[in-house]
Structure 1
Amino acid sequence: MAEADTVAPSESPTIRSIGAVHDRGFQTILSLKFNKANTAFPAPGSAAMANELARLDRVLPLVLGTVDIVTIGNEPFIESMPAQRDERLNAFYETVARHVIDARAELCGDDCATHLYLGALNRLDLPQNRTAAVERFLAFARETPEIEGVDLHPHVPDEARVQAFLDYTLPRLRADQTFLMTEFSLVWYWQEHMTDPVPAGFADRYGYAPDTQVWEVIGEAIEEPFPSRKWNDLLSESPWFEGKKHVLSDVMGQLRSTGRLAVATYGFAQIPSMTSGWSATKPPWLLNSVYASLTVQARGEAMSTPTYAWLEDFRRLQ
């Protein structure tokens, strides 16, 4: 949403791209991201809130009736100042949600093709994150008929923690509501293994000292992308990665077994923010991606190489 102050929404690369994808027959989801990490939430009725809603009114006519799902919010409990993650957060998102609901009714009527969700919730596997504000967030979703459910983002250290999200969230929604999972991964599990030594066979084959750590080799691939065989050898010979190569199927089985999954999506390509400032402690989001577009040599012009572990299950799950 912040982009709308500097780029006309009709010229926004995000909105133009999602419109083009829609025109090609694909279904689409757009999250409305309000980044308040460095600023307080405006109070309902204030001039600052009026500015927020005016900005929203420049975006909504371009997406309502076109985008299949609009998620109101991205990650509110991360994209906010910690001291503001209370009723002030709730009041802001409730005001925005009611405005979107009213705009949808006005712009495309009762049979509008765009479905509305609230999003997204993070680290609900940790009891300290199940706050009064989270409870109110879910209560608002439950009590607002036009909201069809919530988005969940479980980036967790093991698959069992995904179930914790579901066990906490679903009983707090209406029985007719569903959920999105537009992000999920085992990134914190990968993080635990960045300082492991590389596999002995890999070290011997590629000439690394036995005490070379995984993050150091990944850093080399960031600086000068590897041939796909070398990248895949690093991962497939690491038991902590190889043992999780069916995580997409495992998690999708969990989600579908609820009978209430609307949509799940998964990270497709590595992006520059995943590699900038690489270190032993930087979260290794790049290991999630289906395509190793930045750490593996391209197969030809504009042809990224898939990470061996994810592509087969990703295709089958379609």
Structure 2
Amino acid sequence: MCATARTRNRTFTAGGVLLASTLLGGLMAAPPAVAVQTPAAERLCTAPGDPGLAARMDRDLRSVLRQRGGTVAFDVQAPGHGSKGVTCARNAHTLFDAASVAKVLILETVLHRAASERRGPTPRESRLLRAMITRSDNGAASTLWRDVGLARLKGVLRLAGAGDTSLAARRWGLTRTSARDQTRLLGLLTRPGSPLGHPRHALDLLAQVDPAQRWGVSAGAPHGVTVHLKNGWLPRRWHGWRVHSVGAFTGEGTRKGTRKGPYRIAVLTQDNPGMRSGVRTIELLSATVHRHLATGRTPARPFTPGGAIDARPDGSDLDARVTGRETPEEPRSLITSK
């Protein structure tokens, strides 16, 4: 083909594209006054009875995520809030090493076994459960894990509908779980008529976690709300620090106005440069959720100062080792605007 023909062909092609683009643009252009809707599949939050609330929560959670690194998954379940409930989720079915949040499953399994045998926890079980939950004692967790066995643990997972979780046969801290499964397990403790045995006992223990370990989803929780939480923090040779926090929120502060009952938050993270970075990500997200679900109430729990976070692994993996040093992050102030 000669140079002139090639030039004409390029000219015709460019012109055709331009003409097609012009025609399509004219046909497909929306009137300026019509707002562009975000596809439902892309939304982080849904609230069928209050789409405005869902939009505000979506906006503010995205703002936090844009500022943070690492891999982040979260699930928020507030079934009694608003007229038809509120749900927020991101990567809710992504699997993470559970670290010490696996102790919630162990706690529930021990209590469910006791209820199935028509009894309360024995003095030995009570002592081990208290150590495992309030102090995150790994020896107690390992003993109870062996006591109940994998079959009973799987039974409680089925009871909760926690289908993502896969148990590690010996190292309970390497159980693989998701944010959605964690809120489902917590739901066994908060929903009316729960089939789980002794849910009140479990909630009482989760509300008594050592103050040094009460960082995470507690940040920004308002006055009048009781925090029941368990955290996990584990560095490994790949994906850096796993830093997790899961919690249920009950009490008078969850039953005011359009707030009708408990809600649950689970945030799982990895690829964090250090523990403090993961804690700050969790606290920023959680404070955002509390602010919207507890409109008009004053936050009772501030962010955890970086220097108050003990950055030693939780010991749930025998191979755990700190993968590097980090600079403590100073907490941002809680935002109370709506």
TM-score above 0.5, yes or no: no
Higher normalized contact order (CA 8 Å, seq sep 6+, divided by chain length) = 2
TM-score bucket (shorter structure): under 0.3
Which has more strand, going by share of residues? 2
Rg comparison, structure with higher value: 2
Scaled by the length of structure 2, what TM-score is found?
0.23
